Structure 1
C-alpha cells in the first residue's frame, strides 16, 4: 500500500531536475497587438488596421502610476480609465478588439461627417479623425468632462493634426447637438452609451444611406445595432452582439430617442479632482463584463472566471496596491483568453501578471500555455519556487512526466500535489496518481487512489470506468 498520505511528501522531488525559465512572455506593444487581431480575422479593413496601428489608446488613458514602461497595459484586453470617477457612465476606454469591431461597423468613408455621442476620452475621436472624417461633432453631456477632453486634445496637439488632415472637430453639449447640421444630414452617428430604445431623434438627422451605430437596451442586455437610413422615414436595422455598455444618463437618453428638440440638462456633479488616478486604475476592471462585446455565453464565462479564479499575489488583503490589482486582473483575463484557446496572448497576460506581482497561479497557468515541454516545466518550477504549497504545479509536473512515460517519477509529484496546503483540486491529482500506478501495473495502489479521486469527484464518468476496470483486475 501507499505511504502515510497525511504527510507532506514532496521531499523526494528535486526541483533542480527541472529546467529554468528561458522564455518570459509579456504584453506586446500596441502595434503588435493590433497586428494579431488582423491575423485572427478580427480586423478586416486595411485602413482601420493602419489607423489603429498609429493611434494607441494608452495616451488617452489616465497616467498609470507605476514605473515600468515596458508593461504595455494598453495592449491588454483590460479596460483603461480615462476619467478618474470610474462610477460615472462611459469613463473607461474599451479594448482594441471592441474598438475595431464598432468602428468597422460604421463603414467610414473619407469625407464623411460624423457625430460621436459620449466620446469616452479622445481615443475614438482621434481614430475617426484619422479615418478621414471631414467634420466631427463630439457630444459630451457633462460640462466638466467636455472641458477636460478639449484640454487633453490640445495638450496632445491633436488640434494641429486635425488641421493637417482637414478635419473640423467641434465640441458641444446635448443642447447644441442638432444645431448647424450638415446639409442632408450626418453620414455617420456613433453613440457609445446605452439607449433605452431606438433613437428616432438621432436617426432623423442621418443622411440618406447614412449609418448610425448604438447599443440599444433589450431583454438580453444592451445590443449593438447598426441602423441605415434607406428612404424618408425608413430604416434598416441589424442586431450584432451584446455590447455591455453603461446606459446614458436617463434624461439625455430620452431626449436622444425622442423627436423633440434637444435642450441642455443639469450637469452631473463632477468629482474628477476628488479621486486619484490610482483608485481609478484599481477599480477599472471591477465589473468584468463592463464594455465587453460578444455573445451572452462569452460574457457569462468572463463573469464566471472573475468570480472563481484568483491569484495569490504578494500584497496582504488590507494592503493591496495597484500592482497587485493589475496582476490579479491580468491573471483573470489570461484565464479567459486561455479558455478561448488564444494561448499566446493568454501567456502574455500571465507573464505580465507575474512581473507585476509574482503568484504561483500566474506561473502555473503560464506554463500550461506552452507547447514546449521544457518551457512548461520551467514555469511550473517557477510556481513552486514562488509558493511551495501551491499544489497545481506539482500536479502539472506529474502529468508531464506521466505523458512521457516516467510514471515512477510522476507518482512523487502527484503525492506532493495531494498533500499541498494550497490546492483545491486534489481529486485530479488522485486520479492522475491512479493512472500512474496502473501504468506500472500496481493495481491495488491504483484502486486506492481511484477511490479517493471518486470520493472527491463523484460525477466524473472516467473515474467510474477506471474503477470498473480496476475492480475486474
Structure 2
C-alpha cells in the first residue's frame, strides 16, 4: 500500500471537503503518520472514512472528525493540553505536535500500554499517558488551555469546565445515540462559558461516562 498517496487522498478527498481549511491542521495530518497508530490487522484501513477498532470497545475516530476537532480547539505553542480517552495515542500525537505538552488519561490498561508504545516508537516525548478515570479531568495539573474528550459524554461535567483557563477551549461529544453534538466550550471569563455546537455525529461513550455521581449541572 502506498501510504503517502493514501494520506494525501485522505486529506484532499475526505478532510478538506468537510470544511477543514486550516492549512496548519492539514499539514499536521500529512505529517503525523496515522498508520503507525492503527492495529496491524487494520492498517490498510488507516486512511479510510471509518472508525477503526482498537480494543476495549473503543475506536480511532474517522479522520474527518479528528480534523474538525483539531481545527476547533486551535492548539498553539505554549498551550497545556489535557486529553481524556487516549485510545491508540494518535490524537495525542497530533495535539503534541502543536503544543508544549499533553497529559492524556486512559482507563483501560491495555490501551495505556498500546498508546505508550505507539508514542515512544514514533518519538513523541511530550505526552504523558496516565492510567485512570478521566471523566472528572485531572485537577493536579489544572488549569488547561485545551481539554479534548475523545469519546461521548451525556453532558459536560462541571469539574471539567472548572479546569479550563480563561480563554481555554474544551471539546466534547455530548449526548447519546442516535445523535451527539460535537461541542466546543470556551471559557470567556471566570465562571462564564460560551458553547458552540459544530456538527452532529455518534461516537462510542467514554468509559464510566454514565456514572451519575461523577456529574453535576
How does the TM-score come out when normalised to structure 1?
Answer: 0.41
Residues 53 and 247 (structure 1 numbering): CA distance in 2 closer, same or farther, change over 3 Å? same
- The CA distance in 2 between the partners of 1:239 and 1:30, in whole Å, is 28
Q: Does 1:158 align with 2:123?
A: yes
Pick the structure with more helix per residue: 1
Q: Alpha-carbon deviation of 1:111?
A: 1.4
Residues in 1 aligned to 2:189 and 2:210: alpha-carbon distance in whole angstroms: 27
| 1:357-393 deviation per Cα after TM superposition (whole angstroms, max 9, x unaligned) | xxxxxxxxxxxxxxxxxxxxxxxxxxxxxxxxxxxxx
Separation (CA, whole Å) in 1 of partners of 2:99 and 2:212? 27
**What is the SS of the residue equivalent to 1:153?**
helix
Is 1:75 the counterpart of 2:41 in the alignment? no
Equivalent in the alignment of 2:96: 129
The answer to whether the Cα contact below 8 Å between 1:225 and 1:237 also exists between their aligned partners in 2 is: yes
Measure how far apart 1:134 and its partner are. Answer: 0.9
- Alpha-carbon deviations, 1:119-162, whole Å to 9, x = none? 221110111111x22120101012332123212322x2424xx3
Equivalent position of 2:163 in the other structure = 205
Q: Deviations over 1:76-107 (max 9, x none)?
A: 21222223x4xx1xx21122211111111111
Matched, 1:238 2:196: yes
Q: What is the aligned residue count?
A: 212
CA contact (8 A) 2:153 2:176 kept: no
Q: Distance in 1 between matches of 2:211 and 2:100?
A: 26
- What is the alpha-carbon distance in structure 1 between the residues aligned to residue 84 and residue 184 of structure 2? 15
Q: Can you give the 5+ residue segments of structure 1 that lack an aligned partner in the other structure?
A: 1-26, 163-167, 260-473
Secondary structure, in 3 states, of the residue corresponding to 2:8? helix
Partner of 1:112: 79
Aligned to 1:48: 25
Determine the C-alpha separation between the residues in 2 that align with 1:112 and 1:52: 19
State whether structure 2 residue 147 is matched by structure 1 residue 192: no
- What is the alpha-carbon distance in structure 1 between the residues aligned to residue 213 and residue 86 of structure 2? 18
1:229 aligns with 2:173: no
Change (3 A) 1:157 1:198: closer
Counterpart-to-counterpart distance in 1, 2:202 and 2:18: 22
User: Which residue of 1 is the match for residue 114 of structure 2?
Assistant: 148
CA 1:121–1:231: 2 relative to 1, 3 Å:
same
Gapped runs of 5+ residues in structure 2?
A: none
Q: What is the Cα deviation at residue 48 of structure 1?
A: 0.6
Of residues 97, 114, 133 in structure 2, which corresponds to 1:174?
A: 133
Superposed, 1:330-341 pairs within 5 Å as none
Larger radius of gyration between Structure 1 and Structure 2: 1
> Would the aligned equivalents of 1:37 and 1:97 in 2 still touch at CA under 8 Å?
yes
RMSD between aligned residues: 2.7
Deviation at 1:237, TM superposition (A): 0.6
Asked whether the 8 Å contact 1:135–1:169 carries over to 2, the reply is yes
- Cα distance in 1, alignment partners of residues 194 and 45 from structure 2: 38
Partner residue in 1 for 2:39: 62
Is the alpha carbon distance of 1:171 and 1:41 closer, same or farther for their aligned partners in structure 2, counting shifts above 3 Å? closer
Aligned equivalents of 1:218 and 1:157: distance in 2? 34
Alpha-carbon distance between aligned partners in 1 of 2:177 and 2:45, rounded to the nearest angstrom: 34
1:206-285 equivalence runs, <5 A? 206-217=164-175, 221-250=179-208, 254=212, 257-258=215-216
Q: Aligned pair in 2 of structure 1 residues 251, 47: CA closer, same or farther (>3 Å)?
A: closer
Q: Is the Cα–Cα contact under 8 Å of residues 31 and 54 in structure 1 kept in the other structure? A: no
